[in-house]
């Protein structure tokens, strides 16, 4: 990022006001009458009692003296206000969590009044109960059954509403504990490989009481050991409601469920009431390669990379061990390896960490760029091993819980470990180009994502995470191989976009890509590489810039926009699958170390320390984002406001987060996806639908670090509590008055929120801006509702109509704050970026940059209050 004569500007301190009021809320569904509802639910309550009785018999001889309990699953149609408060009024009920439901099938008297066939929305509540609490719940149900208008004692009224809207109530069972976890596939692979022991993560329901939590772990350990198994590790993190153990058992004791998932209830492990999920372990893996075909750096290239960094690290890389002896990486990396993972690596196995370090320090080696000015901190969290297919991989070790090693690694940065001082307290950006291939995002936040969100808030640090790669085949429905061969480039592109969209369920974000406080990065189909030497490869897209065919799809939690941004990950070519067993054209993802792709440092043969390869994927894009974030952090540290004061350090991270998103645009991707996917049926919600593929768009980090004569960016910052607001004024350039010039107004707001892992709303602090104006009033790109579901709000407005205004007029931007999933524990720092731009070659009498800069120097009084 070059120096500029037009640096970013800073708003004066904003005026304070009350937050704007929010309106809205959907309609209520049609529900059955009380008589029909009570008749349908009565057998379900009886089954709960039967399950509790069986649990009591099973625990009669338990040496730990555990009281019979079970987890209740309550699915409701529509929302139930204050249900959690009612649960806490009943002794013996313990709140565990809630989730949003969006695909409830109409029936039993529940339906949408306008469209009876439409899927319904609702909530799923999870509650632990003992016999006393279950009896009271049954008593209240019978009371409501006799008289639906009866009164419940104070605080229990929400239960009446719950009975009216209850779709089903059932116990959490063995099938729930393995459903969509991928554990059965993992065990089957291990059987095929001849393994006689399997490892797994057993995640328990988090109990707030320490004694009950220890009892739960002891009971699970007793069950595992009774099958001649072993508990290898355990981890408890109360702040994210996480309690998990890493176990190992003989595969023969699990064979029944491996052969037939319907036999889950016959497995003693899966009968444990304190068990929430059983998941595979060791799947956070990076495919490696035994291919030694690399290319050397030229002497000219090495000569351009000689300037060494200095200072303290601001970026941490949690990944594989980098090859620090590589000529590009010598004296540039601070390796911190407290677990001595280096002893497990051979030099040629240090592939992924070397590639990521290369991209963070230099970017794509085929593109000119400045060397990183500050050393990179690297903590190895991966080890080399051979996978099921014999292929070399780097992955989180199988005797370590991923959440635990990430937690320990980040704490070591800022708090130290085992009496040692903090390892790198100056770090503000943490790169995580690793994800869990067995944990695609469904509807609940993974423990890994919850951990990142909590750590981001606790330490005021920004995680840059990969959205994940999906390298499985692309099947083009209703397109034969012969037809595919005759398609034009544009027709082929449309067919591939459509095929990827149809398969989106199998191409979801991989944990922890759904993290709300993190910047999640997707890969765009772009690089600066020469054409591939293999002429048999197929470029899936007619032009570069679209999301890569391997890049995971959103949306994120509660339909938040994810991935947030896209950066080049390398052009991923495909090939036509050979054979006659598939009637439709099927494309295979090809992995190779030659062009195209991003060129990165790589291990070579023994003694070769100057080799490079080409790679592709979201890991690359994530590392490029971290590189850009470090550069932006340096720019922000040098900024001064109109009084000559530096930007408050507590706001640096959120300003970086805002700027990473600020330069995004859908550009021509919107038109290309619209051609392939838009129909009369989805036209009304197409922008929201498109967001899952494009996020906020492709980022231009270099652009947001600079201004021009006709593009001016102003940064604002502050901190807010619940109910508060800040009002910023963006001066209108007088030269635009009464002009029909096309202009664009871009506003981005970013913050880090505390979290509440047991609440559906999850995000504790919701910030948003209002920027009603007539200068640029037409909203572009992302859906206006989706942009307010995460911790970044990014909106683009355009306009061209003539508008008369006076010198001194301004666009008022109100930044609001409200509590969302609980009380806000402390004020919330935020960062705001506002850009106004017009066509660069437009002949205006003066620079709009200078007009805005001059008017910011003279602060305009702002009136507080409710309005904008």
What CATH number has the domain bearing residue 182?
3.30.70.80
Query: Is residue 744 a part of any domain in this protein?
Result: yes
Ranges 249-263, 535-549, 702-716, 850-864: which has the least confidence:
850-864
pLDDT for position 860: 43
Contacts of 213 (CB under 8 A, 6+ apart): 204, 206, 207, 236, 243
Residue 658 lies in a domain: no
Question: Is the pLDDT assigned to residue 5 strictly greater than 90?
Answer: no
**For the stretch 468-486, what's the b/e string if a residue is b when 16 or more beta carbons lie within 10 angstroms of its beta carbon?**
bbbeeebbbeebebeebee
For the ranges 274-288, 567-581, 650-664, 734-748, which has the lowest average pLDDT?
274-288
Q: Give me the pLDDT at residue 336, please.
A: 98
Asked if residue 204 and residue 89 are part of one domain, the reply reads no
Quick check: 66 pLDDT over 80? Answer: no
User: Is residue 408 situated within a structural domain?
Assistant: yes
The DSSP symbol for 121 reads: E
- Examine the domain organization and report whether 573 and 718 are in the same domain: no
Same structural domain, 424 and 534: yes
pLDDT at position 290 is: 55
- Residue 27 confidence (pLDDT): 63
125 and 235 in a single domain? The answer is: no
* pLDDT in the model for residue 193: 87
Polymer length of the chain: 868
Choose one of 130, 154, 172: the last residue of a domain.
Answer: 172
pLDDT digits (tens, 9 = 90+) for 485-531: 999 999 999 999 999 999 999 999 999 999 999 999 999 999 999 98
Structure confidence at residue 534 (pLDDT): 79
Which of 65-79, 673-687, 704-718 has the lowest average pLDDT? 65-79
The yes-or-no verdict on residue 25 having pLDDT over 60 is no
pLDDT at 356 (0 to 100)? 98
User: 106 with 221, same domain?
Assistant: no
Stretch 211-215: mean pLDDT = 94
State residue 861's pLDDT score.
43
Is 81 in the same domain as 183? no
Identify whether 189 is preceded by a cis peptide bond (ω within 30 of 0). Answer: no
Is residue 865 included in any domain, yes or no? no
- 202 and 148 housed in the same domain: no
* Tokens, residue 308: 């060494």
Q: Which two tokens stand for residue 270?
A: 């899966």
The residue behind tokens 């005759």 is: 486
Question: Quick one: which of 221, 190, 211, 192 has its CA closest to 67?
Answer: 211
pLDDT given at position 592: 87
d(CA 379, CA 385): 18
Claim to verify: residue 148 and residue 180 sit in the same structural domain: no
Residues 132 and 193 in one domain: no
Do the domain assignments include residue 2? no
862 pLDDT more than 50 = no
pLDDT band with cut points at 50, 70 and 90 for residue 388: low
CATH number at residue 504: 3.40.50.200
- 536 pLDDT band (50/70/90 cuts)? confident
Of 146, 172, 198, the last residue of a domain is 172
Quick one: CA torsion of 445, 451, 453, 459, rounded to 10 degrees? Answer: 180
Of 203-212, 453-462, 703-712, 858-867, which range is least confident? 858-867
pLDDT band at 390 (very low <50, low <70, confident <90, very high): low
Per-residue tokens: 793: 């709000």
Q: What is the pLDDT of residues 92-120, one digit of tens each?
A: 999 999 988 988 999 999 999 888 989 99
Q: In total, how many domains does the chain have?
A: 4
Write down the pLDDT at residue 389. 62
pLDDT tens, residue by residue, 570-604: 999 999 988 767 889 999 998 889 999 999 999 99
CA atoms within 13 A on the CB side of 198: 26
Task: Look at residue 136 and tell me if it is in a domain.
Answer: yes
Residue 652 lies in a domain: no
pLDDT exceeds cutoff 80 at 386: no
DSSP 3-state of 450? helix
Q: Is the separation of the CB atoms in 829 and 817 below 8 Å? A: no
Are 42 and 162 in the same domain? yes
pLDDT in the model for residue 843:
66
Confidence class of residue 414 from pLDDT cuts 50, 70 and 90?
very high
Q: So what's the pLDDT on residue 103?
A: 87
Q: Which of 638, 660, 695 is the last residue of a domain?
A: 638
Q: What is the mean pLDDT of the chain?
A: 91
Question: Are 570 and 464 within one domain?
Answer: yes
pLDDT exceeds 80 at position 61: no
pLDDT value at 67 more than 70? no
pTM of the model: 0.95
**Residue with more model confidence, 747 or 302:** 747
Q: pLDDT > 90: what percent of the chain?
A: 77
Q: What is the mean pLDDT of residues 3-15?
A: 87
Q: Specify the pLDDT at position 373.
A: 87
Query: H helices of 125-171, where?
Result: 131-146, 157-165
- Domain coverage including residue 249: 176-281
Q: Which pLDDT score is estimated for 294?
A: 85
* 404 backbone dihedrals φ, ψ, rounded to 5°: -65, -45
Rounded to 10°, the helix 131-146/34-58 angle is 160
Query: What pLDDT digit, counting tens, does each position of 323-363 carry?
Result: 999 999 999 999 999 999 999 999 999 999 999 999 999 99
Domain-embedded: residue 702: no
Predicted confidence band at 291 (pLDDT cuts at 50, 70, 90)? low
Contact (CB, 8 A) for 169 and 45: yes
Q: Which two tokens stand for residue 220?
A: 């699970």
Using alpha carbons, select from 341, 673, 303 the residue that is nearest to residue 501.
673
181 in the same domain as 168: no
Q: Residue 867's pLDDT is what? A: 28
Determine the average pLDDT of the residues in 408-422.
Answer: 97
Residue 731 clears pLDDT 50, i.e. is over it: yes
Output the pLDDT for position 868. 26
pLDDT bucket at 865, cuts 50 / 70 / 90:
very low
- Is the backbone of residue 273 left (phi > 0), alpha (psi -120 to 50) or beta? alpha
Q: Is 70 exceeded by the pLDDT of residue 619?
A: yes
Distance between CA atoms of 500 and 492, rounded to whole angstroms? 12
Q: Write down the H helix ranges in 399-477.
A: 402-415, 447-459
pLDDT tens-digit map of 824-845:
999 999 999 999 999 876 667 7
């Amino acid at each position: 990022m070059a120096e500029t004569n037009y640096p970013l500007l800073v708003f004066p301190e904003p005026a304070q006001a009350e937050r704007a009021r929010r309106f809205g809320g959907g309609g209520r569904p049609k529900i059955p009458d009380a008589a029909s509802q009570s008749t349908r639910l009565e057998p379900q309550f009886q089954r709960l009692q039967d399950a509790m009785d069986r649990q009591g018999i099973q625990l009669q001889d338990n040496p730990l003296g555990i009281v019979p309990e079970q987890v209740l699953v309550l699915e409701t149609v529509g929302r139930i206000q204050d249900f959690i408060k009612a649960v806490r009024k009943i002794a013996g009920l313990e709140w565990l969590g809630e989730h949003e439901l969006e695909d409830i099938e109409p029936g039993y008297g529940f339906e949408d009044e306008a469209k009876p066939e439409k899927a319904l929305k609702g909530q799923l509540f999870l509650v632990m109960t003992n016999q006393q609490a279950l009896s009271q719940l049954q008593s209240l149900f019978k009371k409501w059954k006799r008289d639906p208008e009866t009164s419940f004692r104070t605080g229990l009224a929400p239960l009446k509403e719950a009975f009216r809207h209850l779709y089903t109530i059932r116990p959490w069972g063995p099938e729930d504990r393995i459903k969509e976890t991928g554990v059965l596939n993992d065990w089957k692979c291990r059987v095929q490989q001849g393994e006689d022991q399997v490892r797994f993560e057993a995640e328990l329901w988090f109990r707030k009481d320490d004694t009950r939590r220890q009892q739960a772990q002891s009971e699970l350990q007793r069950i595992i050991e009774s099958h001649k198994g072993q508990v290898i590790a355990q981890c408890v993190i109360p702040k994210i409601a996480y309690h998990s153990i890493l176990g190992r058992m003989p595969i023969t004791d699990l064979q029944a469920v491996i052969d037939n998932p319907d036999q889950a209830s016959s497995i003693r492990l899966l009968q444990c009431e304190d068990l929430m999920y059983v998941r595979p372990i060791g799947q956070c893996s990076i495919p490696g390669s035994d291919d030694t075909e690399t290319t050397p750096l030229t002497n000219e290239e090495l000569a351009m990379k000689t300037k060494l960094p200095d200072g303290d690290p601001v970026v941490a890389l949690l990944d594989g061990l980098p090859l620090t002896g590589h000529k590009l990486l010598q004296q540039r990396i601070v390796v911190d390896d407290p677990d001595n993972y280096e002893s497990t690596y051979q030099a040629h196995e240090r592939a992924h960490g070397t590639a990521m370090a290369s991209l963070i320090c230099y970017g794509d080696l085929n593109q000119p760029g400045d060397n990183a000015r500050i050393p990179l901190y690297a903590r190895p969290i991966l080890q080399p091993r051979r996978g099921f297919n014999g292929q070399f991989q780097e992955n989180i070790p199988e005797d370590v819980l991923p959440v635990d090693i990430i937690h320990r690694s980040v704490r070591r940065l800022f708090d130290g470990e085992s009496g040692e001082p903090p390892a790198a307290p100056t770090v503000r950006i943490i790169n995580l180009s690793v994800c869990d291939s067995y944990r695609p995002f469904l509807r609940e936040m993974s423990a890994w994502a919850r951990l990142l969100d909590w750590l981001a808030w606790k330490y005021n640090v920004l995680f840059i995470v990969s959205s994940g790669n999906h390298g499985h085949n692309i099947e083009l429905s209703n397109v034969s191989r012969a037809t595919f061969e005759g398609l034009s480039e544009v027709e082929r592109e449309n067919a591939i976009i459509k095929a990827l969209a149809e398969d989106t369920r199998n191409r979801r974000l991989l944990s922890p890509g759904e993290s709300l406080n993190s910047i999640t990065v997707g890969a765009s189909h772009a690089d600066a590489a020469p054409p591939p030497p293999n002429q048999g490869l197929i470029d899936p897209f007619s032009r570069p810039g679209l999301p890569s065919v391997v890049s995971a799809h959103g949306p994120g939690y509660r339909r938040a926009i994810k991935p947030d941004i896209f950066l080049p990950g390398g052009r991923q070519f495909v090939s036509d699958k050979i054979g006659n067993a598939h009637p439709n054209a099927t494309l295979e993802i090809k992995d190779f170390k030659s062009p195209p792709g991003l060129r990165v440092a790589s291990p070579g043969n023994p003694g070769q320390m100057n080799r490079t390869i080409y790679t592709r994927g979201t890991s690359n894009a994530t590392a490029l984002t971290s590189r850009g974030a470090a550069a932006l952090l340096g720019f922000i540290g040098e900024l001064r406001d109109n009084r000559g004061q530096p930007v408050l350090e507590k706001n640096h991270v959120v300003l970086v987060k805002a700027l990473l998103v600020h330069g995004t645009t859908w550009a021509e991707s919107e038109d290309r996806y619209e051609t392939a996917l838009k129909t009369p049926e989805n036209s009304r919600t197409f922008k929201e639908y498109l967001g899952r593929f494009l996020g906020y768009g492709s980022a231009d980090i270099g652009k947001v670090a600079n201004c021009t004569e006709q593009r001016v960016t102003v940064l604002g910052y502050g901190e807010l509590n619940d109910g508060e607001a800040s009002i910023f004024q963006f001066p209108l350039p007088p030269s635009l008055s009464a002009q029909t010039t096309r202009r664009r107004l871009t506003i981005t707001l970013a913050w880090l929120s505390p979290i509440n892992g047991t609440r559906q709303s999850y995000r504790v602090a919701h910030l948003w801006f209002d920027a009603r104006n007539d200068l640029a009033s037409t909203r572009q790109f992302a859906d206006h509702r989706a942009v307010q579901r995460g911790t970044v709000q990014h909106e683009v407005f355009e306009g061209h109509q003539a508008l008369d205004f006076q010198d001194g007029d301004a666009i008022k931007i109100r930044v609001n704050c409200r509590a969302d999933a609980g009380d806000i524990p402390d004020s919330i720092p935020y960062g705001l970026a506002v850009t106004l731009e017009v066509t660069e070659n437009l002949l205006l009498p003066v620079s709009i940059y200078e007009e805005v800069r001059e008017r910011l120097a003279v602060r305009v009084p702002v009136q507080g209050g409710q309005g904008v």
